[in-house]
């Protein structure tokens, strides 16, 4: 559909801008927590229609809340549970069009309707996941997934972990 391809092109340009901003923000700074904090803030303040964006970091065999933007969220998520734990266990992004249709979704905020989770991997090591929530159903698509996977790769490359 013509309209959809225009929207997709705009979204791809948005992610190209995000990647450029990130490269500047991360340049010369290897601190992981500081970079995760700025990464979350940049994503949350530049991508439209989000109600939460942030990190869950692998601690032992569970995910623990890390730097984020948005309302306070659940602190611990077991590996394999929820959208975040599923992405961590699979080491692959999980895109959920409608969280009500994802049986194991963990509702930190009832306002959330769709979700995109990207694993944070450095070398062979799973470091955590980056989670984005939207109040709109079907907010995220393949362009968002590719854009955020590229953004997380920039974050992982910049950090000493």
CA atoms within 13 A on the CB side of 99: 24
If one asks whether residue 112 binds ligand SME (CB under 6 A), the answer comes out as: yes
DSSP calls for 50-81? -SEEEEEEEETTEEEEEEEEES---SEEETTS
If one asks whether residue 52 binds ligand SME (CB under 6 A), the answer comes out as: yes
If one asks whether residue 89 binds ligand SME (CB under 6 A), the answer comes out as: no
- What is the nearest approach in angstroms of ligand SME to the Cβ of residue 106? 4
The interface mask with ligand SME, positions 57-86, x = CB under 6 A, is ----------------xx--x----xxxx-
If one asks whether residue 154 binds ligand SME (CB under 6 A), the answer comes out as: no
Q: Return the residue nearest ligand SME (CB atom).
A: 82
22 in Cβ contact with 39 (< 8 Å) = yes
- What is the nearest approach in angstroms of ligand SME to the Cβ of residue 1? 30
88 in Cβ contact with 15 (< 8 Å) = no
If one asks whether residue 144 binds ligand SME (CB under 6 A), the answer comes out as: no
d(CA 1, CA 124): 39
């Amino acid at each position: 559909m013509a309209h959809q391809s225009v929207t997709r092109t705009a979204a791809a340009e948005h992610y190209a801008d995000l990647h450029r901003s990130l490269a500047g923000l991360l340049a010369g700074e290897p601190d992981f927590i500081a970079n995760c904090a700025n990464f979350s803030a940049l994503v949350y303040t530049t991508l439209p229609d989000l109600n939460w964006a942030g990190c869950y970091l692998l601690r032992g065999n569970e995910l623990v809340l890390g730097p984020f933007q948005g309302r306070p969220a659940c602190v611990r998520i077991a590996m394999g549970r929820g959208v975040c734990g599923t992405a961590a266990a699979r080491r692959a992004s999980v895109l959920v069009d409608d969280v009500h249709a994802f049986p194991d979704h963990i509702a930190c905020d009832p306002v959330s309707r769709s979700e995109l989770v990207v694993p944070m991997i450095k070398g062979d090591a799973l470091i955590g996941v980056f989670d984005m929530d939207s109040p709109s159903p079907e907010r995220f698509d393949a362009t968002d997934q590719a854009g955020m996977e590229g953004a997380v790769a920039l974050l992982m490359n910049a950090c000493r972990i």
